[in-house]
Amino acid sequence: MFDTALTVNDLLLLARGAGMTLLVTAISVFFGTILGIVFGVFRYQVGPWWAAPLTFILDIFRSIPLLIQLVLANAFITTVLGFRISGFSVACGVLSLYTAAYCAEIVRGGIEAVPQTLRRAARSLGMTWGQDMTSVVLPLATRVALPSWIGLALGVMKDSALVYIVQVVELLKSTQILITRLQEPLFLLMICGLFYFLISFPIARFGGYLEKRWSND
């Protein structure tokens, strides 16, 4: 006989899993975005030929399934290099690079969307490269890139369900633990989906609000 009663402790387990999902996502998106901005600006500034090695590396992270990246990174760090590192650190590191690979393309596309006439006008007024990037390119490129960046952040949050492979107990892993004990997969997966919705919906709506507000400016 299985215990099929969902207790308060079970809900707390799911809540802790949701908190871990949010934490991994926040760290990965934060550092991935910073790296993505650096990589995207670099690729735009130096051109396709000089940026070819970086582009190749980023293509690797975009092409190989995230699950395989997590397994290989964990095995390489712990087995080959011999470092003792937590699964949480591996998950955040891999997800940050994974996010950066996609964010770099978003940033590069946003910069390219800024009309060259505006940039030439800014430089003719005596602006430096840094002033041009912060005062002209950044505001306009952000408006273009925001919808794609919001989609990327939500995608990373859902992809974080794969970090169970490196022993990180996030939302889906917490759900699997309860499924094993309670033997109620459909009911528990519905609750898991509700948690994901409660996390995702405010982010998507806030992004839509910003996009609408900027389009009216």
User: 51: helix, coil or strand?
Assistant: coil
38/58 Cα distance (integer angstroms): 13
With 0.75 as the threshold, say if the pTM is over it: yes
State what percent of residues in the chain have pLDDT above 90. 44
Distance CA 189, CA 176 (A): 9
Q: Which two tokens stand for residue 23?
A: 């934490």
Nearest to 162 by CA among 59, 86, 87: 87
* C-alpha separations of 181 from 2, 155, 193 in Å: 7, 29, 19
CB neighbours of residue 49 within 10 Å: 7
Q: How many residues does the chain have?
A: 217
Round to the nearest angstrom and report the end-to-end CA distance of the chain.
Answer: 62
pLDDT tens for residues 90-100? 999 999 999 99
In the chain, the percentage of residues whose pLDDT exceeds 70 is 96
| Tens-digit pLDDT profile for residues 172-213 | 889 889 888 888 888 889 988 999 999 888 888 888 887 777
Q: Which two tokens stand for residue 24?
A: 């991994």
Centre a 10 Å sphere on the Cβ of residue 56 and count the other Cβ atoms it contains. 9
Residue carrying structure tokens 């989609």: 151
Query: How many whole angstroms from its chain centre is CA 52?
Result: 23
pLDDT digits (tens, 9 = 90+) for 94-140: 999 999 999 999 999 999 988 888 888 888 888 888 888 888 888 88
H or E segment and range at residue 139? helix 138-159
pLDDT tens-place string over residues 1-26: 444 567 888 888 989 999 999 999 99
Residue 1's pLDDT is what?
A: 41
For the chain, list the domains and their CATH numbers: 8-215 (1.10.3720.10)
pLDDT at 90: 94
* Residue 195 vs residues 65, 149, 153, 187: alpha-carbon distances, Å: 25, 22, 16, 13
Q: What is the mean pLDDT of residues 24-49?
A: 93
Q: What angle do CA 9, 11, 14 make, to 5 degrees?
A: 115
Q: Which residue has the tokens 């408006």?
A: 143
